[in-house]
Amino acid sequence: MTSTQPRGGGRYFLFNTFAMIMAAVAVFTSDAAAEPQLLDRVVVIVDEDVITELELESRIDYFMKQIRLQGGSVSDLASMRKQVLERMIRDKIQLQKAAQLGIKIDDVTLNRLLDTLASSNKMSLSALRDELAKGGIDFATFREQSRDELIIKQLQERLVANKVTVSEQEIRQFLENNEQSGLGDVTYHLRHILVATPETASPEDVQAARDRADRIYAQIQQGGEFAQLAMRESDGSNALQGGDLGTRSANELPQLFLDAIATLQPGQTARPVRSASGFHILQLVESSRSQEMVTNTHTRHILIRTGADYNDDEARARLLELKKEIENGADFATLATENSQDPGSALKGGDLGWTGPGTFVPAFENTMNSLAEGEISEPFQSQFGWHILQVLGRRKVDQTTALQEAKARQAIKQRKLDEELRLWLRRIRDEAYVQYVDVDDQDMDDGE
């Protein structure tokens, strides 16, 4: 909550006294003749911590450099200041909670994260350092900011994500709905503006938020740039990224969002829609269909095990004889039933059915993948013995059932997590003691 009233007299007195001293003492002199030097001052008190003017200006500079590095620009510095300060307040609250829970990120873990980040961008860590330097971003600052972000992520996982559960019934229902809707392979790139409402919003609060969302929507329809409006107006945690949600599959988006964008063309914006956290304005950047196809292979084989009856040379020689018989017209299935020592497939003529990648041991799978349809392999050895195999067919399929279920579970969890995280961030923000010391910041709206 934004407040100037104490929740605890001692703490309030301490911080108010400190704030007044820091705000009032504007000069420091090493001797009587020295020129006055401007000192830092407190801008906002956040529970047991403060945000100072130098910290704020440093973070504004940091974010502006990041935006420029990504090819963006900032036209409204006042809105930028508001969004950065709100981001800092939320971060301070979360970092304090993380400290209370003993969540820390050591240098080894941080180094591993930065290596992964560099690799994901197809560059070395030193190249990443050089790229940041080109944008004027100090690597040490970037490193510590990354540490804070990782701490916050772990806090959110512990307090929010780990409490989000997905039932088997939800997965079954999800897969059924997905099949009926035909959206399982659709991805959307969206931009988002959130006009937040209080957790215990009155009808007046809701109407004020609705009116504000309608005004923002009208500005967009009149040609206002969505990204700039998001940075200036959005209460969402992605406001500093111009409201960019990135690319997400349809499965990961709440049904509310899917319904809102159902008829949009790229570049169009949907009318505001309401959820528990407030009013959402969504813009479709682009959409696409992208199935993750895997190759399934239909095979059959004959297995000769080595041991009392056959040594390696004898097993190989026997399979060469069987292969020659098949090539001369003998029925593969009959010979498999009579000769194969694989009890699971021998009764089915050696048929192993349709299988996906990773089903068989590498020696078997590598040989299978090297064959054309209808081709019979030379004898080869695996850990089970000696084989000949024939590829009967290949087909492309949209994943296995197990993979579909795993993706369904993740998508359902992501949907739930997005909304739970918005509500949790709003709740801890409302519960926190936040006092604006700088008069220019006192009228700032609360974030989500």
- Per-residue confidence in pLDDT tens, the chain, 448 aa: 444 333 333 333 333 333 333 333 333 333 444 444 556 789 899 998 999 999 999 888 888 888 887 777 777 788 888 889 999 999 999 999 999 998 888 887 888 788 888 887 888 888 989 988 888 888 998 999 999 998 998 899 889 988 888 898 988 888 777 666 655 668 899 999 999 888 788 999 999 999 999 999 999 999 999 998 998 899 988 888 889 998 888 878 888 999 999 899 999 999 999 998 899 999 999 988 655 667 889 999 999 998 888 998 999 999 999 999 999 999 999 999 999 999 999 999 999 999 888 788 878 988 999 999 999 999 998 888 999 999 999 988 766 566 677 778 888 888 888 889 989 999 999 999 999 986 454 444 444 3
Whether 28 maps to a domain, the answer reads yes
Q: Does 135 share its domain with 97?
A: yes
CB 105 within 8 A of CB 85: no
The per-residue pLDDT for 437 is 86
| Pairwise CA distance, residues 391 & 429, whole Å | 61
Q: Does 228 share its domain with 318?
A: no
Whether 441 maps to a domain, the answer reads no
Query: Would you give the DSSP letter of residue 252?
Result: G
Domain boundary among 132, 158, 184: 158
CB atoms within 10 A of CB 176: 10
Q: Does 285 share its domain with 427?
A: yes
Token pair for residue 154? 């772990």
Q: Does 318 share its domain with 376?
A: yes
Q: Does 183 share its domain with 52?
A: no
The per-residue pLDDT for 27 is 34
Q: Say which CATH number the domain at 203 has.
A: 3.10.50.40
Token pair for residue 448? 């989500």
CB atoms within 10 A of CB 307: 10
Closest CA to 277 of 332, 321, 229, 237: 237
Q: Say which CATH number the domain at 31 has.
A: 1.10.4030.10
Q: Does 416 share its domain with 272?
A: yes
Q: Does 324 share its domain with 385?
A: yes
The per-residue pLDDT for 446 is 42
Residue 140 Cα to chain centre, angstroms: 25
Q: Does 141 share its domain with 200?
A: no
Domain boundary among 158, 187, 202: 158
Q: Does 358 share its domain with 418?
A: no
Whether 4 maps to a domain, the answer reads no
The per-residue pLDDT for 138 is 87
The per-residue pLDDT for 20 is 35
Whether 1 maps to a domain, the answer reads no
The per-residue pLDDT for 328 is 95
The per-residue pLDDT for 21 is 34
Q: How many domains does the chain have?
A: 3
- Rg from Cα positions in the chain: 31
pTM: 0.54
Token pair for residue 211? 């009116």
Q: Does 387 share its domain with 417?
A: no
Q: Does 176 share its domain with 287?
A: yes
Whether 163 maps to a domain, the answer reads no
Q: How far is CA 66 from CA 88, 143, 212, 255, in A?
A: 16, 14, 29, 32
| Pairwise CA distance, residues 194 & 277, whole Å | 8
The per-residue pLDDT for 435 is 92
CB atoms within 10 A of CB 357: 12
The number of residues in the chain equals 448
The per-residue pLDDT for 18 is 37
CB 287 within 8 A of CB 390: no
Whether 188 maps to a domain, the answer reads yes
Domain boundary among 397, 421, 442: 397
Q: Does 150 share its domain with 222?
A: no
399: alpha, beta or left, given left = phi > 0 and alpha = psi -120 to 50? left
Q: Which domain holds residue 338?
A: 294-397
Whether 339 maps to a domain, the answer reads yes
First to last CA, the chain: 11
Whether 335 maps to a domain, the answer reads yes
